[in-house]
Amino acid sequence: MFLGIDSSTQSLTALILHADGQPGPRVNINFGRDLPHYACPQGFIADMPAGQVHSPPLMWLEALELALTQLGQQGLDLSRIRAIGGDGQQHGSVYLNSRFLPVLAGLDAKRSLVEQLAPCLSRSTSPIWMDNSTATECAEIAKALGGDAEVCRRSGSITTPRFTGPQIRAFSKRDPGAWGATTHVHLVSSFLASILAGREAPIDFGDGAGMNLMNLESGQWDAQLVAATAPSLAAKLPRLASAAQSFARIAPYFVAKFGFDPLCRILPFTGDNPASLVGMAAGRPGSVVVSLGTSDTLFAAMPQPRTDPAGCGHVFGNPLGGFMTLACVRNGSLAREAFRDQLGATWEDFEKAAFVALPADAITEPFLFDEITPRRAAGLVESRPDLSSPQRIRAFLEGQARNLRAQLDWMCLKPELLLLTGGASKNDGISAVFSQVFGCPVQRFELSDSAALGAAKLAQQSS
Closest distance to ligand XUL from the beta carbon of 321 (Å): 20
Residue 122 interacting with ligand XUL (CB under 6 A): no
Residue 402 beta carbon to ligand XUL: minimum distance, rounded to whole angstroms: 23
Residue 54 in contact with ligand XUL, rule: CB under 6 A: no
Of 229, 273, 325, 425, the residue at the interface with ligand XUL (CB under 6 A) is 273
The β-bridge partners of 5 are 14, 86
CA distance 71 to 80: 12
The closest residue (CB) to ligand XUL is 90
Smallest distance from the beta carbon of 90 to ligand XUL, in angstroms?
Answer: 3
What minimum distance in Å lies between the beta carbon of 421 and ligand XUL? 14
**In this complex, which beta carbon is closest to ligand XUL, that of residue 78 or of residue 298?**
298
Residue 221: which of 385, 235, 148, 197 has the closest Cα? 235
Query: In terms of CB distance, is 236 or 314 closer to ligand XUL?
Result: 314
Q: How far is the CB of 195 from ligand XUL (least distance, A)?
A: 20
Among 162, 186, 257, 306, binds ligand XUL (CB under 6 A): 162
- Residue 271 CB, shortest distance to ligand XUL, in Å, is 6
- Least distance (Å) from ligand XUL to the CB of residue 327? 10
Angle of helix 333-343 versus helix 389-411 axis, rounded to 10: 160
What's the CA gap between 81 and 72, in Å, rounded? Answer: 12
Q: What mask, x for binding ligand XUL by CB under 6 A, covers residues 210 to 239?
A: x-----------------------------
Return the number of the residue (131 or 200) whose C-beta is nearest ligand XUL: 131
List the interface residues with ligand XUL, window 195-214 (CB under 6 A): 210
Q: Which of 137, 204, 272, 308 binds ligand XUL (CB under 6 A)?
A: 272
Q: Is 91 in the site for ligand XUL (CB under 6 A)?
A: yes
Check residue 164 for interaction with ligand XUL (CB under 6 A).
no
Nearer of residues 156 and 238 to ligand XUL, judged by Cβ: 156
Q: Select 81 or 187, whichever has its Cβ closest to ligand XUL.
A: 187
Nearer to ligand XUL, 8 or 246 (CB): 8
Residues in contact with 349: Cβ distance below 8 Å, sequence separation at least 6, in sequence order: 340, 343, 389, 390, 393
Nearer to ligand XUL, 156 or 390 (CB): 156
How many other C-beta atoms can be found within 10 angstroms of the C-beta atom of residue 266? 28
Identify which of residues 10 and 79 has a Cβ nearer to ligand XUL in the complex: 10
Q: How far is the CB of 410 from ligand XUL (least distance, A)?
A: 17
129 binds ligand XUL (CB under 6 A): yes
Number of residues that bind ligand XUL (CB under 6 A): 11
Rounded to the nearest whole angstrom, what is the least distance from the CB of residue 447 to ligand XUL in the complex? 12
Q: Is 90 in the site for ligand XUL (CB under 6 A)?
A: yes
Given the rule CB under 6 A, which residues bind ligand XUL?
9, 89-91, 129, 162, 210, 271-273, 314
